[in-house]
Structures are given as C-alpha cells and as structure tokens.
Amino acid sequence: MEETQEKKITHNEDDKLMIDHSYDGIQELDNRPPPWIMWLFYITVIWSALYGGYYHWFWQEEVSPQESEYQAELLAATEKQEKLKASNPEKYSFDETKITLFSEAADLDAGKALYAAKGCVACHGNLGEGNAVGPNLTDEAWLNGNTPADVFKVIKHGNPAKGMMAYKDQMTNDEIQKLTSWILVSLKGSNPPNAKAPQGN
Amino acid sequence: MEQQTFYYDNKIVKLFAYATILWGVVGLLVGLIAALQLAFPIFNFNLSYVTFGRIRPIHTNAIIFAFVGNAIFTGAYYSIQRLLKARMFNDFLSKFNFWGWQFIIVSAAVTFALGYTTGKEYAELEWPIDLMVALVWVAFGVNMIGTIIKRREQHIYVAIWFYLASFLAVAILHVVNSIEIPVHFMKSYIVYAGVQDAVVQWWYGHNAVAFFLTTPYLGLMYYFLPKAANRPVYSYRLSIVHFWALIFIYMWAGPHHLLYQALPDWAQSLGVTFSVMLIAPSWGGMVNGLMTLRGAWDKVRDSAILKFMVVAVTGYGMSTFEGPLLSLKNVNALSHFTDWTIAHVHIGGLAWNGFLAFGMLYWLIPKLFRTKLYSDKQANIHFWLGTLGILFYAVPLYWAAFTQTLMWKEFTAEGILAYPNFMETVTQLIPMYITRVLGGTLYFTGAILMVYNLIKTIQSGSIEENEEAHAPALAETSKLRLAGETIHRWLERKPVQFTIWIAIAVIVGGAVEIIPMMMIKSNVPTIESVKPYTPLELEGRDIYVREGCYTCHSQMVRPFRSETERYGEYSKVGEFVYDHPYQWGSRRMGPDLARSGVVTGKMYKTDSWHFNHMLDPRKMVKNSMMPAYPWLIKDDLSTDYTAKKISVMQTLGVPYPEGYAEKAVDDLKKQAETIAAGLKANGIDVSPSKEIIALIAYIQRLGVDITKQAGEVKAETEEVVIDFTPLTDAESVTAGEAVYVKNCVACHGAAGNIDGTGLVGPALFDTIYIHGNTPNDVFKVTSEGVPAKGMQAWKHLLPKKELDQVVSFVLNYKK
C-alpha cells in the first residue's frame, strides 16, 4: 500500500526528493529555506542587538527609559496647559472662592445632566434625597458648608475621608459651576419622597 | 531483511478523538456563556458557581487542556506509532494517560466552579490536581520515549522532534510554576511573590502557548498535512532551522506580557527582542506547511480537510506576526489590558488550534473506521461557518480594543481625562460584545455540524482496534557519524542525544530570566512602608482570588499620564513583596484596583459603597457589567485556616512576628468588628463574621502602604503618648457636654442618640465602640483621630483640658 502511495506523490521537476527520507510514506524535499525568511531572521537578530545596545549599554540618562518617557509625557502636558492659559487668561484663570450661580435654564439643565452622568445619583439618590452612602442634598443642612463656593469646593476637591470623591479630574470648572448652580438653585428645597434625615448644619 | 509483524493501537486513538470532540463542544459552549455574560450581566445568574470570574478559567482550561490537549494526544498517538513503526511502548501507560487526563479535566471543571483556584492564569489548578497533571504528563512522556527506543525506523521525523520538545518543556514549565505550599487539601500559596511570581507565571503562560498550543501542533501539521495533501514536505533544511530556533527563542519571550509594568527594564527588553526574533522561526513552520501544498492547490478547492488546514496554518502565521507586534512597547502601551489580547489569542485558538483539529478529525475518523466521510458537503459548510465565526468574533473585538484604549488615553484641551468615568469606556463596547456572541455562535454551530457528520461516519464504518502492520527490525548502525552523514542526520538516529540538546535549548531562556530575578536583590527594591496584610485582609485577598476578580480587574498602574491621572501613582516592584500569588491581571473589564484603598486617591470608595456595589453593582454604577456577589453577604468567613495561612506565609518569608499565627483570629475579629461598626453607622446592618467584611478590608488596603510618606511610617511606629485625665466632677462633665454640643453633634448626633440613624459618624451612646471602649481608647481616638474613617484629630483643635472634659462626658454619659 505504501508503494502505491509513494508513486502517487507528485512534485516539481526542480525539487529533489531525499531518497532515504520516508516516514509512513511522508517524503521530504531537499529545498533550501527561502532566502527571504533567513534574511528576516538575521534582520530581527540585528535589530534586537541594536535595541539592547541603545536602551542598556549606551543609555546615558539617570532614570530608566520608561521613567524618562513618563517624565517627558508629564512635562509636555504641563507645557500645553500653560500655553493654553496664556492664550486666554480670562477663560482659564478661575477664582474658586468667588463662585456665582448660573440662573439660565440651559445652564441649570446642563448641571442636571451632569448630576446623572457623573454618577452623583449612586450616593445622593435620583432626586438628591440621599441614601445609605451620601447625605440629602435637598434640605437645609450641609456638612461642608452651603455657600456656592463651599459646594463648588466639595465637588471639585471632595472630602474623601467621608466618601465624597474629588471630581477635579472628571469635570471642568465650568461644569462644576453648572452642577453647583443646579444643586443650589433647583435641587435644594425640592422636598423629594424618602428623603434622608438632615445631616450637618 | 526479515519483516516483523506488530499491531498499531487504534483504540487509544479513537478514545482520544472522542474526548477531543466532547471537550471541544463543552469548551466552546462555556466560551459562549462567558461572551454572553460580558454582553448581558444577567447571564451570571447571581450564582457563585457560574459567575464570569469562575466561568472564564473553566473556558480557557477546557479549550487549552481539554480540547487541544486531547487533540494533541489523538494526533500524537496515531502518528508516533506510524512514524516509528511500532506499537506504543506500554498499553497501561496509554490508558493511564487517557483516563488520567479525563479525570483531571473533570476535577478542574468542578473545582473551578467551586472557587478552588490558585489565581494564576492557565495554571489555576490547585496542588493535588497539579500533582496529577505532572504524573499523567510524565506517563505520556515515558510512553513516547519508550516507543522511540523500540522503534523500527532508523531516524526520527520532524513531527517527533516537536513532540519531544513539547513534552520536555511543558514538564519543566508546569513543575516550576506550580511549586506551592498547601494550606489545606484545596488551598495553597505559590512560593514566589509579586514580580518574581509574575515572571515565573508569564514564562509559564507564554510557553503554555508555545509548547502546548504551538509545538505539538506543528508536530501534527508535519504529519497530517502532507498525509492529507499527499505531497512531500517542502524543505527538510527549513524544518531543522526553524525547529531549533523556535524552541530556543520561545522560552525567552515571556516578559512581553509585563511590558511597562513593575518589572526591571532588562527583563522587559528581553521580552521585546526575543519576541521580535520569533517571527522568522514561527513563519518557518507556516512556510513549510503552505509550500508543501505547492502543486496541490486544486485539491484545496475540493477538500474541506485541506481548506481547514490552510486556514489553520495561515491563522498561525497571522498570530505569530501579531504576537511580536504586540510585544513592541509602543504597541503594547495601546493594546495591553484591552480586547486586542483577547482577539489575538482567539485568532490562534479558533483558526490554528480549532481548524487544525477539525481538519485532522475529518481525515482521521474515516481512516480509523475504514470508511468515507459521511458528508463532504457538511464538512464544507462547517468550514464556512467556522471561518465566518472567526471573522465575526475577531473584527468586533479589534474594534472594541481600539475604541477603549483611545477612550482611556484621551485628554480634553483643558488637560483632564475625556472619559474619566471608566464605565463610559465599557458601555461603548457592548454592541461589539453582542456581535462577538454571534461569531461564537456561528463557530459553535459549525462544530455541532461536525459532531453529527462524524457520528454518522463512525456508524457507517468499523474500527480495527489493533491494526496489523509489518516492518523490518531496526538494523544495527555505527554510533559514529557515517561518511557523508550530516551532524543533524546523525542526531536524528540518536534520540537520547537529541533529547539532551532539546533540554538545553529550552532551559537556557527561563534560567537566564528567572534565576537573577530570585537571587539579585536590586531587582526587587524593598519599600519600607510596605507591610504584610492583616489576617482579615489576607482572608479577603483569598476571596478576591477565589472569585477570579483578576479576570476583570488589574492591580497594575502603568507609568502613563492617562493611567496615573485615572488611578494614581504608578505601581512599583517593591509593592508586591508579600503577594502570593501576584494579582496584576491581564485585562481591564473593570477599572484598575491597585490604588482603591488610598483615601485621598482617585479610586477611593467608602466601605458602604463597596457593600452596596457587591450586592448590586448596577445600583451604584449604571450599566455596570459586573456580576453581583450576594453570597459574600450571606456566607460566614471561615477562620479555620487563618492561623495556618499566617504560618505558611511565615514559611514563605512574610515577616509576621513570631507566634503571630495564634493571635491572628483575634486580630481578624477585631478588625472585622471595626468595619462592621463603620457600616452600621451608615445604616448597613451586617454581621462582622461575613465574607464581605474581609473583602472590603482587602480592597481598602490596596495602595495604602505605598502612599504613606516616610514620615508617616515613623509616626505610626512611634508610641503615641496617651495622657488622659479622667474627670468625674459634675462641673467638668457639664463643661464636656458644652464642648460636645459645639464640636461633635454634627457627626455623632445629640447625646443619648443610641441608634445612630442619619449620622455620619457612629453613635456614641450605645455599647459598641469601633476603636475600643477603655477610657484610653476613647481618648486616643478623640485626640489622634482616625482620618481614614473621617474622624478628625482634635488634639490640634482643642486644649488638653477640653479634650479631657469631652471624653469624660462621653464616658460618664455611657454609664
């Protein structure tokens, strides 16, 4: 049976069958490995040597390549921010101690949308009524002060020890101002059902 | 020469083929469930045994070790006998190999569902099953080597080289990565900690891909592809070059799983460069496979078997190009922790491993049963279903990966994260996850069609369990090289020398990476503020491992602005020195947790938030895909092994004080009561004995140590001087009440409030005290504060006299 199988095996005229290579009827050809794949191999080996040389033997900086990249990334971001501030000082200089409340409906609606989008509902309830985690926002009692600047501050910088996280990495000043406005103008005094007992003063 | 008569053992091949088919279907089905869970969390069923964290290891292990494992044994047992012209060395070993392997698979599925896991990817099996694996694997090796020794073929063929390398490498990998100290029958701690564990784990993990999913499969390819195509192998010399290059280089590439992570630079660079050098050796296999089909492409058009094999080999070529690409640090910075990795392994798994197994089965089953395939048409339909399935699986996942990584890294013009809420970056992926389910369903349907087709084929034929064969006995040849014989040709008839060279080739890479990581201290710089876990945190960590939290949450902040802005300070090597096992994770379905306990950090959530979140994630995070964990709130934490766990940790070098094991449970209870009392103050009534308390304790510890400043560490170790003067006269107590009303009511409520409703701080006028109830305890917490829990240090705000008065008031009131 094996012989008939071997007879059936066809191969190109140029290929040389290796006479003594037959395993369960499988034969092998005496072809050279394709040169491109050998070159690919040599190139990757050379590239690897250069890579190791560059990042290890010839690396001059005090910090590692990885740390150096990180520092450069931070520096680039800071420079970009400074440029931005310089380009429009009015817009980007912001006095957190003097917060005015918006009263336009569009701004208040934007504040309301932020309340839902940023996950405030998880701790302060859908209607600001408070729950097991966060206090009621609709009553007159405030744990961290009730002026616009106080509310702005606690949203922006948080009070982590009490579980209020800082939103400074999640919202711009303008957004926080809108949210503050909505809370103090619309939400406060809304008297929702199941409200949590007042906390603070 | 005299012909000898012998019999091939076809029965063992048949058994392994049946097991391949069975576990293939099971593994794909479990994968489909896992995909559904990610698209629709309701498929977690609120049931511990089938939550994603336990289903995922069942899926990966079922595919790798059950489906692919049995396919390897099927092909190896069939081809080894024929390539060596001999029956398997020992029938008992064959049977032991088969039944032992199936027993391991069933034990694995059951123990994973029950939550017994070591928490190391693709090595999750607990120690008794690890021992079984070692035993059965060695039985396979002995059986194969025995057959090689009693062979009737002078030279060993390239397929056998690959089988030998696979056997040796997997044995070494498995043993080194499973050195564990048992706590009890189903719990152990790995001896390596932190970065060392990570390096060993990915040396193993990467080479499980190499020497379980790749090299044995190349062996199968070198036998079944020329057989099915009836063509000679394209290049014997290419076989030699790519075999040795592949097995040598593969072993070095593991650290590419840990790029930009808390791993020394030199190890990362080895991971990068050796991965890049793997392209050509891997493609050598693909080229030899595809070029073997030269002049036979017309057959490919007609034969489903060859179509499966061509796509398999092409898929292999694609994965082995993509792998090195993902190992470049700049690509990895984007790809890691996203679905890119998942898509990558599924190109390898579905195309290379799946399709080659299918092609092999379609060729082998009719051969074994001496009949024709029941339906060529159905096999062709299977091929197209499977191919479409791969596309529908992979394309959406690549899309998901790019989407998510770009969202993670995007900043607004003002310099804040554009998508700071992690959930936004997940919600975006749900449509892709639904499409992935469709892809998986197509692939699964094709496999079911194959099962039907093969059953019909089996029914129409009959197997010759012991097939008669003839070959001349092995002729004596010189031990030395003959004239004109190349060194390699000589080595091919010297299997012992051949095996020794393989062993050398596979050991070098691992040794060069792992030994320095263990021996050279500068690789793991210690950080003074990093201390061992408390007993409760340790138990909580074990729950974290048990529930497979690492399948979705990383604990590894990489040094990128987008990560340090989102999570906090990037992770350092020295942070993990007490982590047995390390839990860095490999995919972020949920946010990184490395900094979740840092009160002033970006990831901090209160105990009550965690409690509510575990009970119902969607109540706290809209659209969350995390499973709910109601049983953590219902089940009591077992403290039976707490003392043992502490002493095992001591054996591993974790510096608990001498004799601490005996005190561990007391400390555990004390800490649990503190947390439960804190929850109670927030209106959550839960017994301190529940598992959830331990898990919260662990989560709140993460990242805490590293954030402590050097000064704080010192302050903590210094004894706080408590200078309390108890006052009992009525005047002082009244003065104390005035101080109380002025400063304390906001958080602790009016005097006499004993149920604590609506309060931020705990009620003070009941009998439960979070920080101890002796006069000194109360004074200490008042004067020093507990900032992490929200209690201020009043020593800077009140004169000593007023402190004495207010504490006396509280204590007297209590009486």
User: Residue A28: phi, psi to the nearest 5?
Assistant: -125, 150
What fold characterizes domain B730-814? Cytochrome Bc1 Complex; Chain D, domain 2 (1.10.760)
pLDDT value of residue B548: 96
CB contact under 8 A, A37 and B157: no
Residue B277 contacts residue A45 (beta carbons within 8 Å): yes
For residues B678 and B770, give the distance between their C-alpha atoms in angstroms, rounded to a whole number.
7
Cβ contacts of B758 on chain A, cutoff 8 Å = 196-199
Q: Is the ipTM of this structure higher than 0.90?
A: no
Mean local confidence (pLDDT), B12-27: 98
Nearest to B237 among A32, A48, A67 (CB): A32
Angle at B755 between CA B751 and CA B761, to 5 degrees: 70
The upper half-sphere exposure of residue B709, i.e. CA atoms within 13 Å in the direction of its Cβ, equals 3
pLDDT confidence bin for B295, thresholds 50/70/90: confident
Angle at B63 between CA B62 and CA B67, to 5 degrees: 90
Which are the contacts of B411, defined by CB distance < 8 A and separation ≥ 6?
A: A77, B417, B418, B561, B562, B565
Taking all residues of chain B, what is their mean pLDDT, rounded to a whole number?
92
How many CB pairs below 8 A link A and B? 205
pLDDT confidence bin for B412, thresholds 50/70/90: confident
- Shared fold status for B535-717 and B730-814: yes
Instruction: Answer whether residue A116 shows pLDDT above 90.
Output: no
CB contact under 8 A, B265 and A41: no
Report the 3 state secondary structure along B372-402: CCCCHHHHHHHHHHHHHHHHHHHHHHHHHHH
pLDDT value of residue B720: 62
Report pLDDT digits (tens) over B661-698. Answer: 999 999 999 999 999 999 998 889 999 999 999 999 99
Does the beta carbon of B321 lie under 8 angstroms from any beta carbon of chain A? no
For residues B469 and B516, give the distance between their C-alpha atoms in angstroms, rounded to a whole number.
52
What tokens were used for A60? 């001059």
| Domains defined along chain A, listed by start | 1-50 (no CATH), 105-187 (1.10.760.10)
Nearest to B273 among A21, A48, A70 (CB): A48
Greatest mean pLDDT among A196-200, B295-299, B540-544 lies in B540-544
Does the beta carbon of B684 lie under 8 angstroms from any beta carbon of chain A? yes
Higher pLDDT, B125 or B811: B125
Cβ contacts of B523 on chain A, cutoff 8 Å = none
What tokens were used for B517? 């990581």
Residue B567 contacts residue B596 (beta carbons within 8 Å): no
pLDDT value of residue B773: 72
CB-CB neighbours of A149 under 10 Å: 15
Mean local confidence (pLDDT), B549-557: 97
pLDDT value of residue B425: 95
CB contact under 8 A, A201 and B746: yes
Higher pLDDT, A111 or B797: A111
Tell me which residue of B697, B710, B722 sits closest to B784, measured CA to CA: B722
CB-CB neighbours of B412 under 10 Å: 11
Q: Which CATH class is domain B535-717?
A: mainly alpha
What tokens were used for B44? 């977690």
Mean local confidence (pLDDT), A129-145: 83
pLDDT value of residue A11: 58
What tokens were used for A186? 């619309």
Instruction: Answer whether residue B45 shows pLDDT above 60.
Output: yes
Q: Comparing B147-156, B403-412, B484-493, B753-762, which segment has the lowest mean pLDDT?
A: B753-762
B positions 141-180 inside 8 Å of A (CB): 153, 155, 157, 159
> In whole angstroms, how large is the CA radius of gyration of chain B?
31
Cβ contacts of A125 on chain B, cutoff 8 Å = none
CB-CB neighbours of A34 under 10 Å: 17
Does the beta carbon of B605 lie under 8 angstroms from any beta carbon of chain A? yes
Does the beta carbon of B374 lie under 8 angstroms from any beta carbon of chain A? no
pLDDT value of residue B356: 98
Cβ contacts of B599 on chain A, cutoff 8 Å = 160-161
CB contact under 8 A, B277 and A45: yes
For residues A63 and B372, give the distance between their C-alpha atoms in angstroms, rounded to a whole number.
67
SS3 label, residue B721: coil
pLDDT confidence bin for A5, thresholds 50/70/90: very low
Which are the contacts of B222, defined by CB distance < 8 A and separation ≥ 6?
A: A26, B157, B158, B159, B162, B233, B239, B288
CB-CB neighbours of B519 under 10 Å: 8
For residues B196 and A133, give the distance between their C-alpha atoms in angstroms, rounded to a whole number.
40
CB contact under 8 A, B273 and A9: no
Nearest to B559 among A66, A161, A198 (CB): A66
Mean local confidence (pLDDT), A139-163: 84
CB-CB neighbours of B515 under 10 Å: 10
pLDDT confidence bin for B709, thresholds 50/70/90: low
Does the beta carbon of B604 lie under 8 angstroms from any beta carbon of chain A? yes
Partnered with residue B181 across adjacent β-strands are B189
The shortest C-alpha distance from B330 to chain A (Å) reads 11
Report pLDDT digits (tens) over B315-355. Answer: 999 999 999 999 999 999 999 999 999 999 999 999 999 99
Instruction: Answer whether residue B390 shows pLDDT above 50.
Output: yes
Report pLDDT digits (tens) over B117-129. Answer: 999 999 999 999 9
Cβ contacts of B757 on chain A, cutoff 8 Å = 197
DSSP category for residue B627: P
Report pLDDT digits (tens) over A27-60. Answer: 999 999 999 999 999 999 999 999 999 999 998 8
Nearest to B236 among A8, A21, A143 (CB): A21
Partnered with residue B471 across adjacent β-strands are B4
Greatest mean pLDDT among A179-183, B26-30, B775-779 lies in B26-30
Which are the contacts of A37, defined by CB distance < 8 A and separation ≥ 6?
A: B238, B280, B283, B284, B287
CA dihedral over B266, B269, B270, B271, signed as positive or negative: positive
Does the beta carbon of B638 lie under 8 angstroms from any beta carbon of chain A? no
- Contacts from A87-93 at CB under 8 Å and sequence distance 24+? A92/B414
The shortest C-alpha distance from B672 to chain A (Å) reads 19
Partnered with residue B184 across adjacent β-strands are B187
pLDDT confidence bin for B757, thresholds 50/70/90: low
The residue of chain A nearest to residue B567, with distances taken between CA atoms, is: A169
Partnered with residue B587 across adjacent β-strands are B337
Taking all residues of chain A, what is their mean pLDDT, rounded to a whole number?
84
Report the 3 state secondary structure along B191-256: CCCHHHHHHHHHHHHHHHHHHHHHHHHHHHHHHHHHHHHCCCECEHHHHHHHHHHHHHHHCCCHHH
* Percent of residues, chain B, with pLDDT higher than 70: 96
For residues B147 and B134, give the distance between their C-alpha atoms in angstroms, rounded to a whole number.
20
Residue B737 contacts residue B765 (beta carbons within 8 Å): no
Cβ contacts of A47 on chain B, cutoff 8 Å = 273, 276
Mean local confidence (pLDDT), B757-766: 68
Higher pLDDT, B813 or A42: A42
Q: B495-519 vs B265-276: helix axis angle to the nearest 10?
A: 150
pLDDT value of residue A4: 42
Chain B interface disruption, residue of A17, A40, A41, A164, most B CBs within 10 A: A41
The shortest C-alpha distance from B746 to chain A (Å) reads 5
pLDDT value of residue B61: 97
Longest dimension (CA), chain A: 99
Whose structure tokens read 């021992």?
B131
What tokens were used for B803? 């402190």
Nearest to B609 among A12, A163, A170 (CB): A163
The domain locations on chain B are 3-516, 535-717, 730-814
The residue of chain A nearest to residue B746, with distances taken between CA atoms, is: A200
B positions 41-100 inside 8 Å of A (CB): 79, 82-83, 85
pLDDT value of residue A194: 80
SS3 label, residue B690: strand
pLDDT value of residue B5: 96
Q: DSSP E strands: which ranges in B316-356?
A: none
Does the beta carbon of B550 lie under 8 angstroms from any beta carbon of chain A? no
pLDDT value of residue A200: 72
Question: Model-level pTM?
Answer: 0.84
Instruction: Answer whether residue B503 shows pLDDT above 80.
Output: yes
SS3 label, residue B520: coil
CA dihedral over B11, B12, B17, B22, signed as positive or negative: positive
Report pLDDT digits (tens) over B585-625. Answer: 999 999 999 999 988 788 889 899 999 999 999 988 888 99
Higher pLDDT, A90 or B402: B402
Report the 3 state secondary structure along chain A: CHHHHHHHCCCCCCCCEEEEEEECCEEEEECCCCHHHHHHHHHHHHHHHHHHHHHHHCCCCCCCHHHHHHHHHHHHHHHHHHHHHHHCHHHHCCCCCCCCCCCCHHHHHHHHHHHHHCCHHHHHCCCCCCCCCCCCCCCCCCCCCCCHHHHHHHHHHCEHHHCECCCCCCCCHHHHHHHHHHHHHHHCCCCCCCCCCCCCC
Report pLDDT digits (tens) over B238-268. Answer: 999 999 999 999 999 999 999 999 999 999 9
Mean local confidence (pLDDT), B108-123: 96
Which are the contacts of B35, defined by CB distance < 8 A and separation ≥ 6?
A: B433, B436, B437, B440
Cβ contacts of A143 on chain B, cutoff 8 Å = 746, 760
CB contact under 8 A, A52 and B260: no
The shortest C-alpha distance from B608 to chain A (Å) reads 6
For residues B190 and B25, give the distance between their C-alpha atoms in angstroms, rounded to a whole number.
32
Q: Which CATH number fits domain B3-516: 3.40.50.1970, 3.10.28.10, 3.40.720.10, 1.20.210.10?
A: 1.20.210.10
Does the beta carbon of B295 lie under 8 angstroms from any beta carbon of chain A? yes
Does the beta carbon of B707 lie under 8 angstroms from any beta carbon of chain A? no
Instruction: Answer whether residue B754 shows pLDDT above 80.
Output: no
The residue of chain B nearest to residue A5, with distances taken between CA atoms, is: B230
Mean local confidence (pLDDT), A140-152: 85
Instruction: Answer whether residue B755 shows pLDDT above 70.
Output: no
The residue of chain B nearest to residue A13, with distances taken between CA atoms, is: B295
Mean local confidence (pLDDT), B478-506: 93
The shortest C-alpha distance from A82 to chain B (Å) reads 10
Nearest to A66 among B260, B423, B600 (CB): B260
Does the beta carbon of B280 lie under 8 angstroms from any beta carbon of chain A? yes
DSSP B585-612: -SB-SS---TTTT-TTSSS---HHHHHH
Residue B107 contacts residue B131 (beta carbons within 8 Å): no
Q: How far is CA B212 from the centre of its chain?
A: 16
CB contact under 8 A, B746 and A56: no
* Percent of residues, chain B, with pLDDT higher than 90: 78
Tell me which residue of B311, B324, B322, B313 sits closest to B401, measured CA to CA: B322
Report pLDDT digits (tens) over A73-97. Answer: 999 999 998 888 888 877 777 777 7
Report pLDDT digits (tens) over B174-209. Answer: 999 999 999 999 999 999 999 999 999 999 999 988
* H or E element, residue B182: strand B180-184
SS3 label, residue B289: helix
